[in-house]
Structure 1
Amino acid sequence: MVATSLLLACLASVASTVSSLSIVDRSAAATAFFNPVDGGGSWLNNAGGGGGEPLNVVISGLSSPDVLTDDGVLNFARSIGFSTECFGIHLGDPQSANLGDGHGFVNQTVELRQDFGNADVGTCLESLIGGNHFRVYRQNGPSANSGALFLAVSQEENVNEGHTISPDGYDVGRDALAAAATGKTSFGGVNYSTEVQRLENEMPAGANGVNHGIAVDGAVVLLTVTIE
């Protein structure tokens, strides 16, 4: 009788443990990122006018923590050829994104532009002749707190073309940023090592809902950035 009671107690303990393990707290899990769609978000931001720009690069939440801060992502961006806008002047309204983390639509944290080798004034050249640029969004809401940074990257035309996105500019911009980030980079005395992974079919391919009707191939680039 005692043995039976002990067995039943053990089984109850095991069942309780299994039950608790099946409940995963997405806000506390260490992960590269959470799929925005799973939380009611989207891989497209809200660019206004009914269209959205693809969130086609993710800086993994498993990157070095200092990379994922506002100052940290700016320094990393400068190590791969991007910087703040020309004299801090931004034209146009900020764009928002819903990363499925419980915050709903949140405006971009920052917008950074290709600096052509000069982190101080090089983005002024980008504003004139066009180039690569990206917007940053942080996934840190109560229901999906990965800390990952989602980037909307695109190649744009020169000022005479109104900075419109280049043909195939979303995929082209993504791939150019990935190429610049691959391997070892440095800026301001900080050394980075970046692993690049291409996630095929992570977002819907095609032009449906995409700003300017520019089709995308559906791939997302995942960057895991480690400070050495």
Structure 2
Amino acid sequence: MLTLNRLTLALALIGGILAAPAKRTVAYYNPNNGGGSEVDIVSPGLGEPLNVISDPLLTCSDLLTNNFLSFAQDVGFSTECLGIHLGDPQQANLGDGNGAVDQLVEYRENYNLGGTCLESLIGGNHLRGWIQNGPSANSGAWFLAVSQEENVAEGHNIVPNGYNIGRDNLVANANAWAADQSAYSLTVEYVSGLLPSGSNGINHGISQDGQVAVITVTKN
């Protein structure tokens, strides 16, 4: 016989399943088509490229951020050192009808020794993330701004070519994770046309190649 607490939990779980969005016909929508941009907003006229789009299987649940954190940890990231964050959140408009919204997550490279606290000191890979889930383009995909950072003495500025490097390091880690287990399969496609190449409008004036890595995870 279910106790009241167990019944409440069961109903909550059922409600979460019923509330989950239907299976999508597309992995993501082009933000530019909905008045958004594949570049986030750091300051007026400047932003960082949303150079990775990730659809890591479990985004269709009420635990969106927790599920994405699990995926991010599998590919070498984790939460910030001691939960401490300095600096204002960046915003992004994913063309989904939500307008410009604050980042949902910010994760740093998780070193084997020292974890993300070491990244805060010596630099490393780093990502910010948003979910495309607005009323006009509800794909559920994560849009990520990934970059390789300098150390704390350099103010965590982006290293030369740091946007391309950060993206490609994440992709390499994701491929290594997929090759090391059998429960999931992963594909990566580099897509052009979403993001202009070059440094125009890009924070720190750092040029990038305009390629967006689209990562898709499926259960075997």
For the criterion TM > 0.5, the same-fold answer is yes
The normalised TM-score by structure 2 is 0.83
AA aligned opposite 1:109: L
Deviation at residue 50 of structure 1 after TM alignment: 3.4
Comparing 46-55 with 73-82, greater Cα deviation is found at: 46-55
AA aligned opposite 2:107: L
User: Does residue 79 in structure 1 map to residue 79 in structure 2?
Assistant: no
The normalised TM-score by structure 1 is 0.80
**Aligned runs of 1:1-228 on 2, under 5 Å?**
29-48=24-43, 50-60=45-55, 63-66=56-59, 69-117=64-112, 122-182=115-175, 184-185=177-178, 191-228=183-220
Q: Tell me the distance in 2 between the aligned counterparts of 1:88 and 1:127.
A: 12
Q: Which runs of 5+ in 2 are unaligned?
A: 1-21
CA contact (8 A) 2:58 2:68 kept: no
Q: Tell me the distance in 2 between the aligned counterparts of 1:130 and 1:207.
A: 22
CA contact (8 A) 1:183 1:193 kept: no
The secondary structure found in structure 2 opposite 1:73 is helix
CA contact (8 A) 1:76 1:192 kept: no
Q: Which runs of 5+ in 1 are unaligned?
A: 1-26
Q: Deviations over 1:31-90 (max 9, x none)?
A: 110000000000110012531000000013xx4235871111100111111000000000
The secondary structure found in structure 1 opposite 2:112 is coil
Compute the RMSD of aligned alpha carbons: 2.4
Comparing 194-203 with 35-44, greater Cα deviation is found at: 194-203
The secondary structure found in structure 2 opposite 1:177 is helix
Comparing 42-51 with 154-163, greater Cα deviation is found at: 42-51
The secondary structure found in structure 1 opposite 2:125 is strand
CA contact (8 A) 1:28 1:145 kept: no
AA aligned opposite 1:218: G
AA aligned opposite 1:114: E
Identity %: 54
